[in-house]
Amino acid sequence: MLKVEDLNVYYGGIHALRGVSIDVEQGQIVTIIGSNGAGKSSLLNAISGMIKYNGLIEYENKTLPHHAHKVVKSGICQVPEGRVIFANLTVHENLKMGAYLRNDLKKIQEDFERVYELFPRLKEREKQIAGTLSGGEQQMLAMGRGLMSAPELILLDEPSLGLAPLLINTIFEIILEIKAMGKTILLVEQNAFKALSIADKAYVLEQGQITAQGSASELLKDETIQEAYLGKKNK
């Protein structure tokens, strides 16, 4: 579904992504794990067309346009790190912004209902200004807003960031529910254990390079990965 080949990203003199290649298959959860500054967000932002890059990004066998709004139009939506919700708008208006490129009013209405079903908290706060929501609610709003664009592929950037452990569990359950809706998910996470436990496939990104890949269950058992990312000591 999504194929990234030999992707390079530079920020000024910094070589942030060095020849990254990944493959995402339809209906899967693919996760990219790695420490802070490894280039995980850069990878997602390159796919979203938000930053300049060299290399090939193909989506359903077509080269992905290099403009953010055209990427959304082709069916890819990012739920960005730090949520980036519109704090000045109501919850409902935020969701409406998610459907900005769509004109199928009837389907939009159905998606509103689906999102409110998935996140009952948002329904309760429909008319509330989004800036007054708690961190967890804002994360739900960002995910709901992403779903409103009716994407095939969802890029999730650090959905658990800054949330309480109990809430993190909820968010990961919701990610599985979104997968069950038939969506494909590319998940970037620092919480490697959580990410690997729900993913089908995983890549490890270190200093802009893919250093390991495989099925998520394999990587979960891999000793070097356990030591580096899962906090286990094997000796």
Partner 1 sequence: MSSFLQQVINGLSIGSVYALMAVGYSLVYSIMNFSNFAHGGVIMLGAYIGLYALSLLSLPFVAALVVAAFGAGLIAVVLEKIAYSPLRRRNAPGLYFIISAMGASIFLENFVVATIGPTFRTYPQIFDSKPFMIGDIALGRIDVLMFVISAISLGILMFIIEKTKVGLAIRATSYSAKGSAFMGVNVDWIIFVIFILGGMLAGVAGMLFGMRYTVYPQIGIITNKSFIAAVFGGLGSLPGAVVGSILLGLIETFASVAGYSTYRDLIAFALLILILVVRPTGLMGKATEDKA
Binding site for partner 1 (CB under 8 A): 48, 50, 67-69, 71-73, 77-78, 80, 84-89, 93, 96-98, 100-101, 145, 149
Q: Write down the least CB distance from residue 72 to partner 1, Å.
A: 3
Q: Write down the least CB distance from residue 142 to partner 1, Å.
A: 9
Please tell me the distance from the alpha carbon of residue 76 to that of residue 70, in angstroms, as a whole number: 9
Calculate the dihedral angle through the C-alpha atoms of 206, 210, 216, 220, rounding to the nearest 10 degrees.
-40
Q: Write down the least CB distance from residue 215 to partner 1, Å.
A: 30
Q: Write down the least CB distance from residue 41 to partner 1, Å.
A: 12
Neighbours of 62 (CB within 10 A): 8
Q: Write down the least CB distance from residue 187 to partner 1, Å.
A: 16
Q: Tell me, what amino acid is at 6?
A: D
Closer to partner 1 by Cβ: residue 81 or 218:
81
Q: How far from chain centre, in Å, is Cα 201? A: 14
Calculate the dihedral angle through the C-alpha atoms of 48, 51, 54, 56, rounding to the nearest 10 degrees.
0
Q: Tell me, what amino acid is at 48?
A: S
List the one residue out of 75, 28, 83 whose CA is nearest residue 47.
75
Closer to partner 1 by Cβ: residue 74 or 207:
74
Report the largest interatomic distance among the alpha carbons of the chain, rounded to a whole angstrom. Answer: 59
Two tokens at 89?
């708008």
Closer to partner 1 by Cβ: residue 45 or 191:
45
Q: Write down the least CB distance from residue 71 to partner 1, Å.
A: 8
Closer to partner 1 by Cβ: residue 137 or 210:
137
Q: Tell me, what amino acid is at 42?
A: S
Closer to partner 1 by Cβ: residue 85 or 204:
85
For strands 184-189 and 153-157, give the pairing: parallel
- Classified as helix, coil or strand, 11 is strand
Closer to partner 1 by Cβ: residue 56 or 87:
87
